[in-house]
Amino acid sequence: MQKFKIIMLMLAAIANFFPFALNAATQHVDMIHPQTLTESAIAKELGWVSSNENRCGGYYLEQPFPYAKELAGSHLIHITSEQGMLFAQHGTSIGQQVTITRFGQQIIANKAYLYRDPATGKLSSIDLIDDVILREPDSLVVAKRGQFDLKTKGQSLYDILYRTAIYAKDTPRYNPLLHPDKLQTTRKISQLSAWGHAAEFKQAQPNIYEFRNASYSTCPPVAKVWEVKANRIQLNKNTGRGVARDARVYVKGIPILYSPYLNFPIDARRQTGFLTPVIGTSSKAGGYLRTPFYWNIAPNFDSTTTPAYLSKRGMQLTESFRYLTHTSQGEMSAAVLPNDQAFARLKDSYQAKYQSSTDPFIQAELGRLQNASDSRSSFFWKDHTRLNEHWSGNVDYNHVSDDYYLTDLNTNLSEVTQNQLLQQAQLNYQSQYWKLLGRVQGYQTLHPIDQTVVQNQYTRLPQLAMEGDYPNGPGNLDYFMANEATHFDISNTPGNSTIPPVGNRLNIQPGIALPFEQSYFYLNPRLQFALTQYDLNHIMPSTSHHPSRALPIFDIHSGLYFDRETHVFNTAYRQTLEPQVYYTYVPYRNQNDIPLFDTTVNTLTYDELFTYNRFSGLDRIGDANQISYGIATQLINSQSGYTKLRAGIGQIIYFIPRRVTLCAGPYAPLTCTSNPDNLENRFNKSPLSGVLAYHLNPDWSLIGDAIWNVQDNEFNNQTITLHYQKDQKIINLGYSFLRGGDFQPNNNVPNSSASNLSQTDLSVAWPISRDWSTIARWTQNWNHHHFQNLLYGLQYDSCCWAVRFVAGRAFTNLSPNNTYQYNTQFFIQFSLKGLGNYGNADPSQLLSSSVSGYQTNFGQDYRND
């Protein structure tokens, strides 16, 4: 059959020779209404291909867009037909398999009527009749008839089926202008796609689709679990939002929700509006309803305002603000809870319980509780700023209104309630040779009456530090220094009548080093001189206001490096052997007259064996005449470079007793006039410190460390964790032991085993099938015979919808009668993909923090690759 090509530029001239007209309405041929089609017929019309290769059971297949090369990137229209028929004056009739093509769009129909503007003779509109198909990249509309206005670029189609892609966050939007060749190839549509039917489809503006008497679903056409039916639906791809008016949500054909106005996302862009309400219950808050409102202020600014009703406590308002600029990023959040009813009852309960106590700490904490307002609040601000390549800064500020706020209102069950809230701002400078730091730092210390007494911390107002490092200087020496000036202040711990000292500390610590390094050997002798000066107030009359300290510090760090090629289970490895020794000499200086502003004893680890000071901070520099030795080994895959094994063990040999301790004369709970000769300080060997990291394969790993007390033949502390992760399968099994690490206020026996921490932590995330998965965590405190955390979740996540249930319970504190208190929460969440999430809360943060390595993908769109 001969094929006629009719080019738009020729239509005006040819049409004058055919003096007849044809009524388009008389040519309409009835076809089956889209709503009466079977699932298989709908799937065929929409280009659905069944397949077992993905969760949806198939994919949409996009046919090629054939077009002439001269149309690429242009606005020219190309029309072909099996036969042509023209009429005079105002229009042209074209019959049998009409195809209208322009770049990025194709229209197919059995018949077409082309109308010209009488004034200009240019083509103005097109009527399409019978089996109309409108195709654009990732979109398809099948209709009985249609109209296209070429002046306004508007189009209307009637009795339609449609589908259109929903672009996920990590899916680049398809742009035919950037990829013209892809239009001429058959390809899968990998994005989640929405489809439905409508009595009428209109497009008056680019990328804005209007539907009347329509449906909307993202489920496969052969397995429609849910759909929205509405009088009108608008899909606005310019804003990334859909709107349904007079909407009904159906699940398995059963109506479950009616809304006169339903706003939902059709891509990953943010949009101002109400988010899904959160309804649920917890043991601390009671039943609650949260109605968050999201404000997309600008591409780099947004805020979320969340009014909430808590049945046990009252109304709460939370405001969160996020920002991102060229130099800064951060987040602020504030919450207000006026007239907390449950907190008022707690105050009365504790008043009756503790009012007769003679303990000064309990009485002080009870006074703080009674003076606390029933109106509660919190605020936090986190910021990171980078001004240029040298200057940066950050802020980490946290504040709550009272000592019990986090216990009562923390919604993350996996977080251990903190009693020290950091309040810090700092400015940093870094260049090739210098580092500068300016910092103000404090802590809000919480003092719950039903927990162990927590000591207030010193504030740094301010702290100024300067470090310099000039390698390869005169004489082939490295020159370095670490200087610091800090003002310390503190408020009394409630119940403590002793006024702690405050003041200034200046430390100047220059040093030189003569490093020597070869591929198999290194030797680094160093000499430092620490000069420290104090200016103190609130001190005892017999104590100096200006104590000082001058100490030389000499150390030598040396090690060897050996390696060899070996085979383990027929796999080639490079094994290393890395012995090292570290000698330290620091003479003794009596430092009892120096208060402890920021100094504690460092926890012994393998790396800590090779440092010169056993104390943190600058208020103590320990006397030392000792040598540390250690040996480490690694097993490295020769082909991939992957470290199969890393292990190390070491110890310190002491040549003299250690005389410098944390004793601080009249400033410490343990008063002293000279450094006590503690038994531990007379041992000539430290505990053995070991570390192990073993990767059985890329999926299984074992990581642990331990401190073995050679004097008592027992562990001081140990941790070991077994981790498995492959695809979505995760197993974590850990054990922790810390001597004296779990003190409880009712235990008054010093060094009692009842104060030891002995804890196991088991967590699992495991897919049961392609759509079903489970997650669980159990943390048990074996020494005090109670669980720390319990968590269980079950999730079903299919192609177009998901549901999950999560229940959790976490230990919070001891009650006044020494019974264990827990916070319990339940979560039920539904997701209709492409429409939104519904439920009583979002447990994603809880799950991610509870199971190491777990990343939730609940309700997320995915690609059908």
- Judged by DSSP in three states, 34 sits in helix
Alpha carbon distance 261, 245 (integer Å): 5
Q: How far apart are CA 673 and CA 832, in angstroms?
A: 72
| Structural contact between residues 536 and 545, judged by C-beta atoms closer than 8 angstroms | yes
Nearest to 789 by CA among 765, 759, 816: 759
Q: State the residue for tokens 């654009």.
A: 136
β-strand partners of 465: 437, 484
Which residues are CB-neighbours of 377 under 8 A, at least 6 positions away?
334, 335, 336, 337, 400, 401
Alpha carbons 173 and 527: distance in angstroms, whole number: 61
**Cβ pair 528, 509 in contact under 8 A:** yes
Burial of 228 (0-12, 13-18, 19+ CB in 10 A): buried
192 within 8 A of 165, measured Cβ to Cβ: yes
DSSP code of 601? B
3-state secondary structure of 850: helix
Angle at 689 between CA 687 and CA 694, to 5 degrees: 155
Residue at token pair 């120096």 = 594
Looking at the DSSP assignment, which residues form a beta bridge with residue 202? 156, 210
Q: Name the CATH superfamily for 4-254.
A: Lipopolysaccharide (LPS) transport protein A like domain (2.60.450.10)
Neighbours of 857 (CB within 10 A): 13
HEC letters along 184-222: HCCEEECCEEEEEEEEEEEEEECCEEEEEEEEEECCCCC
pLDDT of residue 745: 54
Rounding to the nearest 10 degrees, give the CA dihedral for residues 539, 542, 543, 549: 180
Q: Which residue has the tokens 């009985």?
A: 144
- CA 640 to chain CA centroid, nearest Å: 30
Q: Encoding tokens for residue 815?
A: 């009650």
- Counting beta carbons within 10 angstroms of the beta carbon of residue 740, is it exposed (0 to 12), middle (13 to 18) or buried (19 or more)? middle
Q: Which residue has the tokens 């020794």?
A: 581
Helix (H/G/I), strand (E/B), else coil: 24? helix
Cβ-based neighbour number of residue 145 at 10 Å: 24
SS3 590: coil
Exposed e or buried b per residue across 158-190, where buried means at least 16 C-beta atoms within 10 angstroms of its C-beta? bbbbbbbbbbbeebeebebeeebeebeeeebbb
How far apart, in whole angstroms, are the C-alpha atoms of residue 469 and residue 715? Answer: 39
Q: Are 847 and 854 in contact (CB under 8 A)?
A: yes
Residue corresponding to tokens 């500020």: 397
Tokens read off for 103:
């770049």
Place of tokens 């923090």: 849
> Taking the chain, what is the end-to-end CA distance rounded to the nearest angstrom?
40
Question: What confidence score (pLDDT) does residue 675 get?
Answer: 45
- The position carrying tokens 């059995």 is 110
**C-alpha to C-alpha distances, 793 to 242, 727, 766, 776, 789, nearest whole angstrom:** 32, 18, 10, 6, 13
Instruction: Compute how many other C-beta atoms are within 10 angstroms of the C-beta atom of residue 38.
Output: 11
Q: Is-contact 628 712, C-beta < 8 A?
A: no
Give the separation between CA 54 and CA 39, rounded to whole angstroms: 19
Q: How far is CA 846 from CA 221, 331, 411, 702, in A?
A: 35, 20, 9, 25
Mean pLDDT by 10 residues, the chain (865 residues): 40 33 33 68 91 86 71 67 66 81 82 84 85 88 90 87 75 45 73 91 87 94 92 89 92 90 81 75 83 89 92 94 95 95 92 88 91 95 96 96 89 65 96 96 92 89 96 93 97 88 97 94 97 93 90 97 92 94 96 91 92 95 96 93 93 93 60 49 88 93 93 89 93 91 58 79 92 92 87 90 86 71 80 69 74 79 51
Rounded Cα distance between 4 and 11, Å, is 13
Rounded CA separation 175/818 (Å): 66
Phi, psi at residue 53, to the nearest 5°? -80, -10
Q: In what order do the strands lie in the sheet with 48-50?
A: 48-50, 58-62, 187-189
